[in-house]
Amino acid sequence: MDKTPVFVLTGFLGAGKSTLLNRVLADPAFGDTAVIINEFGDVALDHDLVRVGETKIARTTTGCLCCTVGSDIRSTLHELHVLASAGEIAFGRVIVETTGLADPAPLVNQLIPGGAQALGLRDNLVARNFELTGVVTLVDIVTGELSIENHFEATKQIAFADRIVLAKTDLARDPASVRDIDSLKVRLAGLNPAALIDDGHQEGFDPAMLFQRRVYAPSSLGDDVVGWLALEEAVRGDSGHGSEPNREPTASSFARHGARIRTFALTRTDPIAREAFGKFLSLLATSAGPRLLRVKGLVQDQDEPDRPRIIHVVQHAVFPPTILNAWPSEDRRTRLVFITDGIDPEPVRQLFEAALNGKPGKAGRALGKLGAKSQKPSGRARANWHAP
Ligand SMILES: Nc1nc2c(ncn2[C@@H]2O[C@H](COP(=O)(O)OP(=O)(O)OP(=O)(O)O)[C@@H](O)[C@H]2O)c(=O)[nH]1
């Protein structure tokens, strides 16, 4: 019997993974897809943001998949397998959406033959029933170059891909931006000459093709990939990855990403004034720039409290909010999740409160504490891709 194909969907923070996944899941042909979404933060949000239709099965893991991978991915696949064997669910494909900070090496290592050793019946069942058949990496043309420069995870995500998709190419409206895309493509081809590179907005691009069964062979992706996989095996014993297969994943498990990476959440029960909130986001994005890796959240708007607004900030870029017609769950609080590089939660919280309460003096002091070095985004990021 054919093994169930597993696809890894990765890409740096905010690259557009969930957007692409939603596009694919809207296709009725993907009704037999089980989705594993990995949350990185204490306040679960992604399962509210990915639309999963009736026939889809979603499992959300907490913590960062590459840090909790020994306990997480195989046990989640095992759980899906047990449910399918009992006739409770049926699926013919699995898509694992990683966090944007995920290092794909440990994940791939758990899923390929000859990778991480099977430690018991559970792992053997997973190996017998599932097969990694593709790694799809999204690269955002707005922040991709900066992410590659500043975060090694982004480089590894590109190197492990057999398919790369350029996201947000619809935002390239002038000749300079188009030239930037060409030079990004050259850089990607240098990092991974074997992967096919698609433009997610080119005519005729069909995202469904990214998730068709094929052979995923890491050895064809070059010496770096082979070396990183070998390194995984070597460090597994030392790091605890895989050596404690039943270790509980924790939301703050992000040991691999260095002490500077922080994740925290802000919540608020009262509805929020739209203008004040916009001010908060633009002050934060302008002053923190690339150190503000990601903000996403659901906001209860004062004027339209029944229609939550989904907000997205990716480094310096604030994206237009999406407005939902209803709250996805009972929880109607404003919930914002932050992933930062060297920014502490407290000044962000102070800026939030000051902006919402109309206290410019306090907002100024909070900005000072943010260590607002006002890092100017370089290169492509200088282009005015998006007004806040
Ligand atoms: N214009 C445009 N915006 C996009 C595109 N893809 C994603 N976005 C926007 O970029 C923001 C982030 O997109 P997501 O799909 O949430 O990104 P993600 O990679 O899932 O984010 P994380 O899970 O936090 O890493 C959202 O505001 C999206 O609407 C695209 O192709 N074009």
What CATH number is given to the structural domain containing 303?
3.30.1220.10
Q: Where a domain ends, among 231, 255, 279?
A: 255
Going from the Cα of 135 to the center of ligand 1, the distance in angstroms, rounded, reads 18
Q: Whose CA is nearest to atom 10 of ligand 1?
A: 16
User: Could you list the residue range(s) of the whole structural domain that residue 170 is in?
Assistant: 4-255
Based on the fold, state whether residues 216 and 86 are members of the same structural domain.
Answer: yes
Based on the fold, state whether residues 269 and 340 are members of the same structural domain.
Answer: yes
Q: Tell me the CATH number at 117.
A: 3.40.50.300
Per residue in 314-325, pLDDT tens?
988 899 998 999
ipTM for the assembly: 0.99
Going from the Cα of 288 to the center of ligand 1, the distance in angstroms, rounded, reads 19
Fill in the amino acid letter for 66. Answer: C
Based on the fold, state whether residues 204 and 288 are members of the same structural domain.
Answer: no
Based on the fold, state whether residues 303 and 168 are members of the same structural domain.
Answer: no
pTM of the model: 0.84
Based on the fold, state whether residues 265 and 249 are members of the same structural domain.
Answer: no
Residue 152 confidence (pLDDT) above 70:
yes
- Give the model's pLDDT for residue 48: 59
Average pLDDT over residues 354-368: 90
Work out which ligand 1 atom sits closest to the CA atom of 49: 16
Question: Quick one: tokens of 17?
Answer: 């993974």
Q: Whose CA is nearest to atom 5 of ligand 1?
A: 168
| Within-domain flag for 373 | yes
CB 342 within 8 A of CB 289: no
Based on the fold, state whether residues 286 and 305 are members of the same structural domain.
Answer: yes
Per residue in 111-150, pLDDT tens?
988 888 777 888 899 999 999 999 999 999 999 999 999 8
| Within-domain flag for 388 | no
Percent of the chain residues topping a pLDDT of 70: 80
Q: How many domains does the chain have?
A: 2
Q: Which residue has the tokens 């000044």?
A: 347
Cα–Cα distances in angstroms (integers) from residue 223 to residues 62, 70, 104, 229, 257, in the given order: 31, 24, 15, 10, 23
| Within-domain flag for 387 | no
User: Which SS3 state, helix, strand or coil, does residue 380 take?
Assistant: helix
- Give the model's pLDDT for residue 181: 92
Q: Read off the pLDDT band of 36 (50, 70, 90).
A: confident
Q: Where a domain ends, among 239, 255, 271?
A: 255
Based on the fold, state whether residues 38 and 151 are members of the same structural domain.
Answer: yes
Q: Where a domain ends, among 204, 225, 255?
A: 255
Fill in the amino acid letter for 363. Answer: A
Other beta carbons within 10 Å of 135: 28
Based on the fold, state whether residues 240 and 325 are members of the same structural domain.
Answer: no
Based on the fold, state whether residues 278 and 298 are members of the same structural domain.
Answer: yes
Going from the Cα of 19 to the center of ligand 1, the distance in angstroms, rounded, reads 5
Based on the fold, state whether residues 297 and 236 are members of the same structural domain.
Answer: no
Based on the fold, state whether residues 217 and 276 are members of the same structural domain.
Answer: no
- Give the model's pLDDT for residue 69: 47
Q: What are phi and psi of 135, to 5 degrees?
A: -125, 115
Pocket lining: 168 vs ligand 1, CB cutoff 6 Å: yes
Work out which ligand 1 atom sits closest to the CA atom of 201: 31
Percent of the chain residues topping a pLDDT of 90: 46
Closest CA to 309 of 327, 322, 328: 322
Q: Mean of the per-residue pLDDT values for the chain?
A: 82
Q: Read off the pLDDT band of 374 (50, 70, 90).
A: very low
- Give the model's pLDDT for residue 213: 94
Based on the fold, state whether residues 124 and 237 are members of the same structural domain.
Answer: yes
Pocket lining: 312 vs ligand 1, CB cutoff 6 Å: yes
Average pLDDT over residues 238-263: 51
| Within-domain flag for 212 | yes
CB 287 within 8 A of CB 372: yes
| Within-domain flag for 112 | yes
